[in-house]
Homo-oligomer: A and B are copies of this chain.
């Protein structure tokens, strides 16, 4: 079975205890995210995570203070990557509004593919805990930035104006987010980003 990492963990109020090699905080986080995605965060206990890792519950607490701490770190990863990607797109001063929107669609796909478990978890949180509510608030900020990019492209006459930009934003980024339902971690992120952007901008219809 898997074993605890080396390195001396310090439990709150306890003496330093030497762990066994095999896990570090990052690998515990990976396993936790997969477990949360598989059986749901609410339905997953620290005991479940310990069993999955082949550890005792007290060994888990060498690595992480709580289940919620793992959730927060996972959601931070997804939200941080998405925010950074939009910052980078927004900083491209030479982009037209349409180019910016296309870049935002592509960047969203690339982040999703590159951080698939964390983004999947983010898209499933329902706000049942303070950590989830905080993540939902940050996600709403990101959704608003994306909606603003759609609106700017519509205002510039660069995209169709017969559909409410907010609805466009929800549908296009809903399509992006739906990738979490079937994408495999080894997916070709850049090619997929091109495919999604092509479908979003040009649609299904064959243009002869």
In contact, B201 and A39 (Cβ under 8 angstroms): no
Q: Which residues of B contact A195 (CB under 8 A)?
A: 163, 167, 171
Candidates B181, B203, B206; contact of A200 at CB < 8 Å: B203
In the complex, A195 Cα to B168 Cα: how many Å?
9
Is A196 at the interface (CB under 8 A from chain B)?
yes
Q: A126 and B205 in contact (CB under 8 A), knowing A163-B198, A178-B174, A195-B163? A: no
In the complex, A174 Cα to B109 Cα: how many Å?
14
Interface centre among A179, A182, A204 (most CB of B within 10 A): A204
| Binary flags per residue of A19-56, CB closer than 8 Å to B gives 1, else 0 | 00000000000000000001110110000000000000
Is A69 at the interface (CB under 8 A from chain B)?
no
Quick check: which of A4-12, A87-95, A154-162 contacts chain B, the rest being far away?
A154-162
In the complex, A201 Cα to B163 Cα: how many Å?
14
Which residues of chain A from 156 to 204 have any CB-CB distance to chain B below 8 Å in the complex? 157-163, 167-168, 170-172, 174-175, 177-179, 181-182, 195-196, 198-204
In contact, A201 and B204 (Cβ under 8 angstroms): yes
In contact, B39 and A128 (Cβ under 8 angstroms): yes
In contact, A38 and B159 (Cβ under 8 angstroms): no
In contact, B199 and A163 (Cβ under 8 angstroms): yes
Candidates B160, B163, B170, B206; contact of A182 at CB < 8 Å: B170
